[in-house]
Structures are given as C-alpha cells and as structure tokens.
Amino acid sequence: MNSRSFFCAVFALGAAISVTTGVACAQQYPVRPVRVVVPFPPGGISDGLARVIVQHLSTTQGQQFVVDNRPGAGTTLAAATVAKSPADGYTLYFTDVTTHAINASLYSRLPFDSVQDFSQIAMVAQTPLILIVHPSLPVKSVAELVTLAKARPDEINYASSGNGTILHLSGETLKSMAKIKMVHIPYKGSAPAVAAVLGGEASISFSTTPAALPHIKAGKLRPLGVTSVTRSPVVPDVPTMTETLKGFDIVLYSGLMGPPGIPGDIVTQLNGEIAKMLTLQKVKDTWTGYGAAPVTMTPAKFTEHLRADIAKLGKLVKAAGATVD
C-alpha cells in the first residue's frame, strides 16, 4: 500500500469511528439523572401527571427522572429557570401548556420568549374544566344560568383561581358569549375557588375536575357543563358548554418542554417513549382519574399548537383586561 492509499484508509477508519461514536453517544442518553421541573406544588393535576411520566421514564430510560417542584409567580419562575438551563436534555419542564400560553399575554414583561426559549417535546394530556354552581342557585343548565344572569345583572358572583388564570378567562368567555354581567372574585387557587362556592361566597365557578368531582358526587355542587367540545368520560351526563354556547372551547393542555436547542435525537427519543406510554391502559385509567385524556403530537405540531393557543388566549386576556406585572 502506497502512502496515499494508507492515508485514505486511515482517514476512512477515523471517519467511521467518529460516526459510530456519535451514534453511540446519541443512543446513550440519559447517562445521569434528569430533573423535571414542575411549576406547581405537589398534589395538583400537573404534579400528578408529571410523577406518572417520571416513573415511566425512569423505568424505560435506565436513569432516574426526578420531579423538582418550583411553584411561584404563575409558573414564570420555573419557566425562567428552565429557559436558562443547559440544552443537554437533563433539565426538562412539565407544565400546564395553557397557563404557559396565557402568560405570554398576561405579563407585560417576561424574562423569556414563551415559544423560542423552549424546546417543545411532547404534549401529554388535555383536561376540560367543569362549570359548577351552588345547589341553592335555581338553575340546572347553562341555558337557565344565562337566563337568570340576564334577569339579575351583576348579582351573580363567580370565583376563579386568580386574575388572568384559565378559570378567570373561562368566566369572562361565558360572560362575553352569553352577553351577561357577573362579578369576578379571584382566589389563590382552584381549591379555594371551589371552597368559595361550597361556602356560598360565590355562586358559580369553573373548576378543574379533581377539585370539584368529590363535591359533585356528594351532591354539594351541581355541574352544568364541561368546557371541551366533547363530553368528559368522567362526567358523561354533563353536557358540553358548546351545546348551549356554540364554539365554547377552553381546555387545559399539559406537556413536556425543555430549554431551547435540545438535540433533535433526544427530543425524538422522549416524544416516542411518552407516546408509547400513553397507549398503556393503566396510564389511560390514571389520566381518567384526573379528568384528563391522553394527547400525542409531534414536537412540530406541539409548537404549532402553542403558537395558536398564545394567539387565541391572548384575545381572551385582552378582552378580560387582565394584567400581571
């Protein structure tokens, strides 16, 4: 072999080794524990769904995935932490995507771009809200509530989980679509809003399913409608809001994101594994317990969905006049 042939052979071998090593490195993720930041305290829907996903990924990926609860400032503290983290796949963000989208318009200034400063990895669930009323309110349907509110403008109070939250925007959407006047009373969370209706401080509220369902089953609250376009399997006898107010469609979406620039092979790996997880019957049953339904989409579709939600919910934020500084 002459020197030129020898050099070419060595170069080809080196290139082959380089490619093989690169593939091996890609296949080895993760090689150490992965932190999954959740912007809510333990016990809520997002925390519960995240813990199921973390447990599954810990089993299938050969490394520990660990929940890191970072509540505060309407999820923006946790989001800012993730946005500034290394893009190596070892810091992820499991969040209420709907809240993330609302914040883009709710806050006059954020330390991140809600789309560009995150890698959209996998959507995992959609959860409708339930419109609940105190049994003393003489209404048994959305139509009857609208009729009563028109007869008694500004006399019906509705509770929410805070200014600019999805519960608040749902109430404002009801007011706008039904052309009624009600008084908004913000509370610090979904559970206090439900407690306000139970105690008679407020007449109605939109609520997450876990917060309201035990009281509905006990007959202490009356459900009038769910906010998704199809009925919920958790409360199949409760009509959708859109059956009375056509086009009413407000749903909580949950998903996994990360810092910007996470390698595409890692995003694909996580998206595929979560998609497989969501086909498991035990996972579907767990989702149903939270009033949620599994949702799968590609990272690209996730990004499209997020952009669309920011535009859609931004209009509701503007109509409600809600701001947080």
> pLDDT (tens digit, 9 = 90+) per residue, 198-242?
999 999 999 988 889 999 999 999 999 999 999 998 899 999 999
For residue 188, the model assigns a pLDDT of 84
| Residue 222 and residue 210 in contact, taking contact as beta carbons nearer than 8 Å | no
- pLDDT confidence band for 107 (50 / 70 / 90): very high
Distances in whole angstroms, Cα of residue 237 to Cα of each of 215, 240, 241, 292? 16, 10, 13, 16
Radius of gyration of the chain (CA): 23
- pLDDT confidence band for 252 (50 / 70 / 90): very high
Average the pLDDT over each of 6-20, 80-94, 242-256 and give the range with the smallest value: 6-20
For residue 92, pLDDT beyond 60: yes
Q: What is the mean pLDDT of residues 287-315?
A: 95
Structure tokens at 79: 């989001």
- pLDDT confidence band for 27 (50 / 70 / 90): low
Domain boundaries, the chain: 32-126+254-320, 130-243
- Write the CATH number of the domain with boundaries 130-243: 3.40.190.10
Average pLDDT of the chain is: 91
Which helix (H) or strand (E) segment holds residue 109: the answer is none
Residue with the larger pLDDT of the pair 285 and 43: 285
Q: How many CB atoms lie within 10 A of CB 38?
A: 26
pLDDT-above-70 percentage for the chain? 91
Of the candidates 191, 209, 188, the one whose C-alpha atom is nearest the C-alpha of residue 199 is: 191
Q: Which CATH architecture has domain 32-126+254-320?
A: 3-Layer(aba) Sandwich (3.40)
Conformation bin of residue 312: beta by default, left when phi > 0, alpha when psi is -120 to 50: alpha
Q: What is the mean pLDDT of residues 246-253?
A: 94
For residue 317, pLDDT beyond 70: yes
Distance CA 202, CA 81 (A): 36
Which helix (H) or strand (E) segment holds residue 284: the answer is helix 281-289
Output the pTM of the full model.
0.85
For residue 325, the model assigns a pLDDT of 64
Same fold, 32-126+254-320 and 130-243: yes
Task: Name the percent of the chain in helix, strand, coil, to the closest 5.
Answer: 45, 20, 35
For residue 4, pLDDT beyond 70: no
Structure tokens at 97: 């995507």
β 119-128/157-160 pair status: unpaired
For residue 209, the model assigns a pLDDT of 87
Structure tokens at 178: 């039904």
Phi, psi of 158 (to 5 degrees): -125, 135
Distance CA 29, CA 46 (A): 25
Structure tokens at 284: 């579907």
**3-class SS of residue 314:** helix
Distance CA 302, CA 256 (A): 10
Distance CA 292, CA 208 (A): 10
For residue 236, the model assigns a pLDDT of 92
Chain CA centroid to CA 3, Å: 62
For residue 158, pLDDT beyond 90: yes
For residue 15, the model assigns a pLDDT of 44
For residue 53, the model assigns a pLDDT of 98
Structure tokens at 53: 């996903």
